[in-house]
A and B are shown apart, each in its own frame.
Chain A
Amino acid sequence: AQTVTQSQPEMSVQEAETVTLSCTYDTSENNYYLFWYKQPPSRQMILVIRQEAYKQQNATENRFSVNFQKAAKSFSLKISDSQLGDTAMYFCAFMKLLTGANSKLTFGKGITLSVRP
């Protein structure tokens, strides 16, 4: 079974600054996806960024980037130039990679990020 751990329940960052959210996971699988999802208050969860475990290059999406350390089973999210709209709960999630057949995500507990004006 897989586990995902987000040890920081809350973080706060000043607008325009950079913040890093931590995530560790445990699995015996070799092929998998890792995700960061964002859940704004009272709004639907959306994908922030995705990383395939077989890719050594860290994923980036505009202001969002990850630091993926496969051996250490660590997957942190860096948000640069934080904006007020980044205020949300952020979930780290794991999915086994199965050809054509899998939609089961294992989530961490989440971290509440507040961006201060």
Chain B
Amino acid sequence: KAGVTQTPRYLIKTRGQQVTLSCSPISGHRSVSWYQQTPGQGLQFLFEYFSETQRNKGNFPGRFSGRQFSNSRSEMNVSTLELGDSALYLCASSPSVGRDTGELFFGEGSRLTVL
């Protein structure tokens, strides 16, 4: 079974631009969540999508948005990039059906550098 796939793996943007990151979950997984990882703040929850609906949202400004498609693939978008948005963005998927084990399966991440 293929794992969680994130694209692109690396990207460089300049302040004020926008960026879209993509995540393909493990086949059969219906939940996709996104996390931001920085040396200073650690791992912070951005949002979670299940069946194309945002189910949970973290404490991030409205510049951060996401969506999920009918095939469970998800994208997140960051508009008007700031230097502080430089981070590793991790996507995770889970079956999220019934009382599952709670385990999240992570992708390798998209490393965003904002200049």
Q: Are A and B a genuine interacting pair, yes or no? A: yes
Taking Cβ atoms with an 8 Å cutoff, the residues of A that contact B are: 33, 35, 37, 43-47, 50, 91, 95, 97, 99-110
Chain B nearest CB from A1 CB (Å) reads 10
Q: Interface on chain A toward B: helix, strand, loop, or mixed SS? A: loop
Known pairs A45-B90, A104-B56; A97 contacts B102 (CB<8 A): yes
Taking Cβ atoms with an 8 Å cutoff, the residues of B that contact A are: 3-4, 31, 33, 35, 42-45, 48, 50, 55-56, 58, 90, 92, 94, 96-104, 106-109
Pick from A44, A91, A95, A108 the residue with the most CB of B within 10 Å: A44
Pull 27 A–B residue pairs with CB atoms less than 8 Å apart, ordered by A: A33-B101, A33-B102, A35-B102, A43-B108, A44-B106, A44-B107, A44-B108, A47-B104, A50-B103, A91-B43, A95-B102, A99-B99, A100-B97, A100-B99, A101-B50, A102-B102, A103-B31, A103-B33, A103-B55, A103-B94, A103-B102, A103-B104, A104-B45, A105-B33, A108-B42, A109-B42, A110-B42
**Extra inter-chain contacts (16) besides given A35-B102, A35-B103, A105-B33, CB under 8 Å:** A33-B102, A43-B108, A50-B102, A91-B43, A100-B97, A101-B50, A102-B55, A103-B33, A103-B55, A103-B56, A103-B94, A104-B33, A105-B35, A106-B45, A108-B42, A110-B43
In the assembly, what is the distance between CA of A35 and CA of B104, in Å?
10
A-B contact count (CB 8 A): 69
- Which residues of A have CB within 8 Å of B3? 44
- Which residues of A have CB within 8 Å of B96? 100-103
In the assembly, what is the distance between CA of A25 and CA of B106, in Å?
23
In the assembly, what is the distance between CA of A67 and CA of B55, in Å?
32
Chain B nearest CB from A44 CB (Å) reads 5
Chain A nearest CB from B22 CB (Å) reads 16
